Amino acid sequence: MTSNWITTRAWLLMLPLLIVMIAIIGWPLIDTVRLSFTDAKLVGTQGSFVGLDNYVKILSGSNFQRSLITTFWFAILSVSAEMVIGVLAALLLNQRFYGRSALRALMILPWALPTVVNATLWRLIYNPEYGALNALLVQIGMLDSYRSWLGEPGTALASLILADCWKNFPLVALIALAALQAVPRDITAASMVDGAGVWSRFRFVTLPYLAGPLMVALVLRTIEAFKVFDIIWVMTRGGPANSTRTLSILVYQEAFSFQRAGSGASLALIVTLLVTVLAVAYAALIRKTAGAS
Amino acid sequence: MSALELIDIRKRYGSVETLKGIDLSLADGEFLVLLGSSGCGKSTLLNIIAGLAEATDGDVRIGDRSVTGVHPKDRDIAMVFQSYALYPNMSVARNIGFGLEMRKVAEAERIAAVEKTAKILQIENLLARKPSELSGGQRQRVAIGRALVRDPQIFLFDEPLSNLDAKLRMEMRTELKRLHQMLGTTIVYVTHDQIEAMTLATRIAVMRDGQIEQLAAPDEIYNRPATRYVASFVGSPPMNMLDCTFADGLAHIDGTLSNIALPAHLHEVAAAAHHITVGIRPESLTLADASNTKFGIDAKIEVVELTGPELVVTATIGKQRLTVSLPPRSQVSVGTTQRFAIDVSALHVFDRATDKRI
């Protein structure tokens, strides 16, 4: 068999998949790019070519800027909280204690739940009339009267972040726990004999083992957080007063609520570009971390 | 003053007792080897001395101070691990100095100490490297350096050479001996390798099933093993153990017509035991020459192996096996029956009921 035939056969075998991928990813992507240079509406008009008009309008508009800031806050706060809580949970679950296996299994539960279910649960918890959070805070005396956590611009985003953390810290914890189990016992013992206290041991001995895997978790979670849609859509639909309107919500509103397919497409492409930049930057960072250890 | 004292150390995991009352006392500058096969409790004992495991019962005293319940870092010990346990993200210099760093030793003093240690171990040129850039032998030196730099009361070694290849292991063994002679440190060293034990130790504790079978100098362990287990564990090839029945000053080898004349001073106890095991080191047997064929035992030669410095002959006597170490040019042929002479002064006799030396 010639190497030529091997190459040809490889392409032939991949052909069905390539056709499917071009049909469901390639074509829509190209069409979205085309759409983004038109003023097409969702129904009715095909739209006409408007050049960079859509992009200029979006980038100079206050809606986009505000959504960008909201998205950044959401991503930074939820991801950093998830990392810290996840690592702490992993450290705890790496100790020997009775019921550890059960607790490890239990921890996965929030992450295993569909986002819509999680969002609905938290909407109940935050409910201004009969929500558990209100009841708890009032009963322990931290709050005088029930509040509408999702109904006030000042607390809505923070409430969403808490719900998102609850759902996603288990992923970080799982990754960290797996990494912790790769720390050789001799190394931990050696650091104890060397006189390292709990903090030094974590900082100098354990953390280097966690760095690589945590970086992967960080990348995954940041990109996901940047694209966040479903949890917000179920809980607040971007409100109140657009205080939780992240970029993906904005894209949805633009394209489907206001039926402006053209500018919706350009907005979607801008978000895609931002996420791509993040992904590339992180990939470089991961390579650097992997090279260092 | 004793550097280390173990008083009735016991360790239980559930209903299994892995250490059954260990007592020993170590003088300053001694090199104690804990020798035994895997599962005998030697590593557990070392971890208890280090404070990495807690004894169920008993007391550990280091430098006349009880350290039971004291954290490893406050025990004035340093430990070298089988896996080296170097911190992969730190340079060699930082690895060695980490213990001092954690003890808040001033930087200038720390650097000086690291450099001095590196010089002793001849690894000055490696200080800037990461452990992943080192060979096995170099890693081992760094691990030893990390212990050395702290100048502790006791050094603990957990099978430190078992990850090295044979040639390197020999080199490091000599190196360790040199370090011990030069620095006069007190060392507790765990191994299952009897050659390491024989060459390094000032005293060997042969362990079995959570107990010390014999605690003595290497020479005594080899030449006067207290039990059948010690006798067969130490020495390579291992000691021949011939089951015999004693009568009329002779040990009659079971299942044969051959017998061995025992020295007179053993007769009384051997007679009391009746069923005995006679231990003969392979090197205590020689080919019986033609003029002296009357004394000795006849064995059928089955396998002949030339190891280089010696010719190892495996033979059978009755249903029992006999190994003999001969000079390399000895004339023996497989399948023939050969008479071997015994150096009677080097016989070891054990009571078969108790496995203890007579």
* Per-residue pLDDT tens over the stretch A87-106: 999 999 998 889 888 999 99
**Cβ pairs bridging A and B (under 8 Å):** 60
Pick the residue of A96, A186, A192, A194 with the most B CBs within 10 A to test the interface with B by mutation: A194
* Chain A interface includes B54 (CB < 8 A): no
CB contact under 8 A, A195 and B83: no
Tens of pLDDT, residue by residue over A258-274, are: 888 888 889 899 988 98
Nearest to A192 among B72, B83, B89 (CB): B72
Residue A183 placed within a domain: yes
Please tell me whether residues B179 and B262 are part of one structural domain: no
**Cα B194–B199–B202 angle (5° rounding)?**
100
**Taking residues A161-174, what's their average pLDDT?**
94
User: Do B60 and B190 reside in the same domain of the chain?
Assistant: yes
Chain A residue numbers with beta carbons less than 8 Å from the beta carbon of B72 are 189, 192-193
Question: Are residue B214 and residue B270 in the same domain, yes or no?
Answer: no
Structural domain includes residue A215: yes
**Element spanning B252, H or E:** strand B250-253
- Residues in B closer than 8 angstroms to A191, CB to CB, are 87, 98
Q: Give me the CATH number covering residue A95.
A: 1.10.3720.10
* Contact across the interface for B79 and A197, Cβ inside 8 Å: no
In a domain, B85, yes or no: yes
In a domain, A23, yes or no: no
Reported ipTM: the value is 0.81
Mean pLDDT for B196-206 is 94
In a domain, A6, yes or no: no
Closest CA to B127 of B92, B75, B176, B76: B92
Provide the shortest C-alpha distance from residue A286 to chain B (in Å): 16
Within this chain, do residues B188 and B260 fall inside the same structural domain, yes or no?
Answer: no
User: DSSP letter at B326?
Assistant: E
**A265 part of a folded domain:** yes
Q: Is residue B358 part of a domain?
A: no
If asked whether residues B325 and B244 sit together in one domain, one would say yes
Instruction: Classify residue B356: in a domain, yes or no.
Output: no
Model confidence at B34, pLDDT cuts 50, 70, 90, reads: very high
Residues B314 and B223 in one domain: no
- The alpha-helical segments, DSSP class H, found in B59-165 are 92-102, 107-120, 136-148
From chain A, pick out residues whose CB is under 8 angstroms from the CB of B71: 192
pLDDT at A141 over 90: no
What amino acid is encoded at A151 in this protein?
G
Mean pLDDT, range A131-139, rounded to an integer: 88
* Element containing residue A198 per DSSP (H, E): helix A198-200
Task: For residues B275-288, give the mean pLDDT.
Answer: 91
CA distance A280 to B7: 62
Nearest residue of chain A to residue B78 (CA atoms)? A193
Is B269 a domain residue?
yes
Interface check for B81 against chain A (CB to CB < 8 A): the answer is yes
Q: Name residues 32-51 of chain B within 8 A of A (Cβ).
A: 50
Judgement on whether residues B297 and B280 belong to the same structural domain of the protein? yes
CB contact under 8 A, B81 and A194: no
- The verdict on residue A21 lying in a domain is no
Q: What is the mean pLDDT of residues A169-187?
A: 92
Same-domain status, B78 and B109 = yes
Domain end residue (candidates: B191, B212, B233):
B233
Residue B357 lies in a domain: no
What pLDDT digit, counting tens, does each position of A202-244 carry?
989 899 899 888 988 988 899 889 888 999 999 998 878 888 9
Is A83 contained in some domain?
yes
Minimal Cα distance from B52: which residue of A? A189
Which residues in chain B have their CB less than 8 angstroms from residue A204's CB? 87, 89-90, 98
Q: Which residue of B has its CA nearest to A188?
A: B85
Are A192 and B103 an interchain contact pair (Cβ–Cβ within 8 Å)? no
Domains in chain B: how many in total?
2
Chain B residues whose CB is inside 8 A of the A190 CB are: 79, 81, 85, 87, 146
Chain centroid to Cα A248, Å, comes to 12
pLDDT in tens, B82-97: 999 999 989 999 999 9
User: What residue type is assigned to position A270 of the chain?
Assistant: I
- Note whether A184 contacts B83, CB cutoff 8 Å: yes
Contact between chains at A186 and B83 (C-beta distance less than 8 A): yes
Q: Among B81, B87, B103, whose Cβ lies nearest the Cβ of A195?
A: B103
State the residue range of the domain holding A212.
44-292
The residue of chain B nearest to residue A187, with distances taken between CA atoms, is B85
Find residue B154's DSSP bridge partners: B77, B186
Position A64 in a domain: yes
Whether residues B138 and B114 share a domain: the answer is yes
Do residues B194 and B290 share a domain? Answer: no
Mutate: best of B70, B82, B83, B114, partner A, most A CBs <10 A: B83
* 3-state SS, residue B217: coil
Q: What residue numbers bound the domain in which B161 lies? A: 2-233
With bands split at pLDDT 50, 70 and 90, how would you rate the model's confidence at B189?
Answer: very high
Instruction: Grade residue A291 by pLDDT with cuts at 50, 70 and 90.
Output: low
Does residue A240 have a cis bond before it (omega within 30 degrees)?
Answer: yes
B238-281 pLDDT tens trace: 999 999 999 888 899 988 888 888 888 889 888 988 899 999 99
B64 found inside a domain = yes
Q: How far apart are CA A242 and CA A74, in angstroms?
A: 14
Question: Of the candidates B210, B233, B256, which is a domain's last residue?
Answer: B233
The answer as to whether B136 is a domain residue is yes
Residue with tokens 């971390």: A289
B318 belongs to a structural domain: yes
Question: Do residue A194 and residue B99 have CB atoms under 8 angstroms apart?
Answer: yes
Query: Would the pLDDT of B62 be above 70?
Result: yes
Residue B344's pLDDT band (cuts 50, 70, 90): confident
Residue B122 C-alpha, separation from nearest chain A C-alpha, in angstroms = 22
pLDDT band at B147 (very low <50, low <70, confident <90, very high): very high
Q: Which of B233, B252, B274 is the last residue of a domain?
A: B233
Instruction: Report pLDDT digits (tens) over B108-128.
Output: 999 999 999 999 888 999 999
**CATH code of the domain in which B19 resides:** 3.40.50.300
What pLDDT score was predicted for residue B318? 87
Whether B224 and B250 map to the same domain: the answer is: no
pTM metric for this prediction: 0.79
Interface membership of B90 toward A (CB under 8 Å): yes
Domain count, chain A: 1
For residue A184, what is the nearest residue in chain B, using CA coordinates?
A: B85
Sorting pLDDT into bands at 50, 70 and 90, what band is B1? low
The pLDDT value given to residue A292: 54
- The amino acid that residue A230 corresponds to is D
